[in-house]
Amino acid sequence: MSGGALADRVTAKAQTAERFGYLWEQASPDPELIPSGYHFEKLERALTLPAPAGIVLDAGAGEGIDLVNVARRYDVEAIGAELSTGGCRTTARRILTVPDAHIVQADLGRLPFGDHGFDYIYSYGVLHHMAKPAEGLAELSRVARPGGSVAIYLYEDFSDRSAFMRWWLRAANSLRHMTTRLPPRLLYVLCQAASPFVYATFTVPHLVMSRVPGLRGLAQSVPFRHGKGPLRLTGDLYDRFSAPVEYRYSREGSAAFMREAGLDVVRVGNDRGWMVLGTVPSSQGARL
């Protein structure tokens, strides 16, 4: 790797940590005020996941919501790996009363764990923000035990969507060229201001169309249809427009991504992105 390419990767990683760390520090760390039906539950529903057991890794723990939910719900030892200082701080406060949840500040591309130590791994919305996503998934494969489950969520590339949706993605990506250069605090304020507009433009039409039998299919293609209220899309908007690196995948590409890491693909699902469940071959010699 050239010196320039290495410098670009280091810069992108630092910016990713800074930007997401700022977002996670805006979250309340109170473990009694965390939402249910969060990211892990979406993976669980879309992929019909087996119940976590043993030692679980939350790869990219963010603000720690999934970490707490999984540790409590399944009575497992749950360890979160999070790149950002802000995410680690919020998670550390959140898990103070959850003895089976732990947080480690770590880069998914170089995890500080030995081989085959985790029975179950999940990673929601993290790998596609890495400069080298394949390195992150290879690390998850390395630290998973033979026969263990690895579930991931990746952004979709809209290759099987309508022409309008592909246009919308191009427009959003054009806007990202500007927003990814804004200071985190300013971008967060702008996302707060935009949240009611986005809710009225996308979420409300989705809610209306979903009640009309002939429009329900169209309703499920509306962006930001998951909004819970006019002021509750700030985090989603910030997530979408702050990350300096973003990769997107087709259905076939997401499955191939798992196979290239030596994982056997069990299922592929979709919930505003591709979700893939893989398992580590029981015989390490069987890996590709």
Residue 62 shares a structural domain with residue 195: no
Looking at the structure, tell me whether residues 194 and 149 fall in a common domain.
no
DSSP β-bridge partners for residue 59: 81
Tens-place pLDDT, residues 254-275? 999 999 999 999 999 998 899 9
Residue 40 domain-assigned?
yes
Whole-angstrom CA distances from 77 to 7, 53, 81, 270 are 36, 8, 13, 28
* Domain contains 164: no
Q: Are 226 and 252 found together in one domain?
A: no
CATH of the domain at 272: 3.40.50.150
Rg over alpha carbons for the chain, rounded to the nearest Å, is: 19
Q: How far apart are CA 37 and CA 52, in angstroms?
A: 16
Task: Give CA–CA dist 61/261, Å, rounded.
Answer: 21
Q: Are residues 16 and 36 in the same domain?
A: yes
Q: Do 230 and 267 fall into the same domain?
A: no
Same domain, residue pair 118 and 56: yes
Give residue-wise pLDDT tens across range 33-50: 666 678 999 999 999 999
Residues 90 and 199 in one domain: no
User: Is residue 166 in some structural domain?
Assistant: no
If asked whether residues 124 and 260 sit together in one domain, one would say: yes
pLDDT tens-digit series, residues 219-246? 877 888 888 899 999 999 999 999 999 9
In a domain, 215, yes or no: yes
Which domain covers residue 206, as residue numbers? 181-242
Per residue in 171-192, pLDDT tens? 999 999 999 999 999 999 999 9
* Total count of domains within the chain: 2
Yes or no: say if 86 and 20 are a contact pair by the CB < 8 Å rule: yes
Q: Report yes or no: 240 and 172 within 8 Å, Cβ to Cβ.
A: yes
In a shared domain, residues 149 and 232: no
* Whether 148 and 204 share a structural domain: no
Tens-place pLDDT, residues 139-169? 999 999 999 999 999 999 999 888 888 888 8
Residues 11, 43, single domain; the answer is yes
Same domain membership, residue 135 and residue 97 = yes
Q: What is the pTM of this model?
A: 0.90
